[in-house]
Amino acid sequence: MTATLNPPEAERSEKPASRRGDRIFAGLARGAGLTILLALAAVFIFLFVEGWNGLNAEEATYRPATDFLGYIGPLILSTILAAIIALIVAVPFAIGIALFISHYAPRRLATPVAYVIDLLAAVPSVVFGLWGGRYLADLLQPVHVWLHDRLGFLPFFGPDPASPNGRSLFTAGIVLAIMILPIITAISREVFAQTPRLHEEAALALGATRWEMIRYAVFPYARSGMVSGVMLGLGRALGETMAVAMVLAVTPVATLNVIGTASPATIASNIALNYKEATPSRQSLLIATGLVLFAVTFAINFFARWIVGRNERKQAKA
């Protein structure tokens, strides 16, 4: 009798000691997780507290505009234009490369290619800016002239003359395209590779060519993943700072022309270019524009991740 009763008793007597260690450790781990949530909330709160004064300061603060909307309007326009150029250029290439890695390349080639694309993500943005400003701008200058001559009737390529040194929003958009290529490629590649093997083989067995198989089996399956990859790329393009700050010649006058001599800065690059003006009111103005940028990119990332998560949940159920 005693022999059978003893072990549970012994266990009970040891439990409190081990439990205390467990409680402390579990508390630490949970605390770290909560710290991250707190940090995220703190970003919002601090930007809000410091930026609040920037929303309705004296008129002189907003020079050359007179109020907050007038100040941030041209910046928003430039930010969106640069991001659109980046997406138009990057998305076809990113999806092509993702397909290359997941479906076209011989296996021996696929891994190194994926590695090279990741390497592109490892290059610091300031180096991209340096290269964009010193080399790419020169290379693309004739393209500016060509676009202006052929398509000058569009508001994006005229009527002002083309940039003489190529340091335009167009060049900045191309640099951004190169920088967001890796993230879009990585996400698309992942969803392409997840296409059920049976769907692909069924399509091939029905006599589809490889492209038809991709069009009718892979793309429908991967559509939402591709959308979220593009949105993550958009988030990057909106928030990228140095490359734009170093490539773009800046003027505060709003213009749709992306190949002209100068455009307004983007929100992010405007902050980097003006941080030195440390008058407190000007500083809060910059922080306020940063708050706007944060809110927009947060919303875009939130939505993109939500799509990815919904997809994963759907697959887990199936």
Contact positions with another protein (CB under 8 A) in 208-247: 209-212, 214, 232, 235-236, 238-242, 245-246
Smaller CB separation from another protein, 44 or 149: 44
In the bound complex, what is the minimum distance in angstroms from residue 125's beta carbon to another protein? 6
| C-alpha pair distances (Å), 121 with each of 16, 61, 89, 115, 124 | 50, 37, 17, 10, 8
CB nearer to another protein: give 93 or 160: 93
Query: Which of 154, 161, 298, 307 forms a contact with another protein (CB under 8 A)?
Result: 298
Alpha carbon separation from 283 to 21, 83, 275 (Å, rounded): 47, 25, 7
- Contact segment (CB under 8 A) with another protein among 14-22, 158-166, 219-227, 249-257 equals 14-22
Q: Is 206 in the site for another protein (CB under 8 A)?
A: no
Residue 151 within binding range of another protein, rule CB under 8 A: no
Residue 163 and residue 261 in contact, taking contact as beta carbons nearer than 8 Å: yes
176 forms part of the interface with another protein (CB under 8 A): no
Cα–Cα distances in angstroms (integers) from residue 272 to residues 179, 246, 275, 281, 284, in the given order: 18, 10, 6, 16, 14
Contacts (CB under 8 A) with another protein, residues 110-149? 113, 116-117, 119-120, 122-131, 133-136
- Segment 245-284, which members bind another protein (CB under 8 A)? 245-246, 268, 271-272, 275, 278, 280, 283
Q: Are 286 and 189 in contact (CB under 8 A)?
A: no
Helices (H), 152-209: 169-193, 197-205
- Assign 192 to helix, strand or coil: helix
- In the complex with another protein, which residue's Cβ is closer, 46 or 159? 46
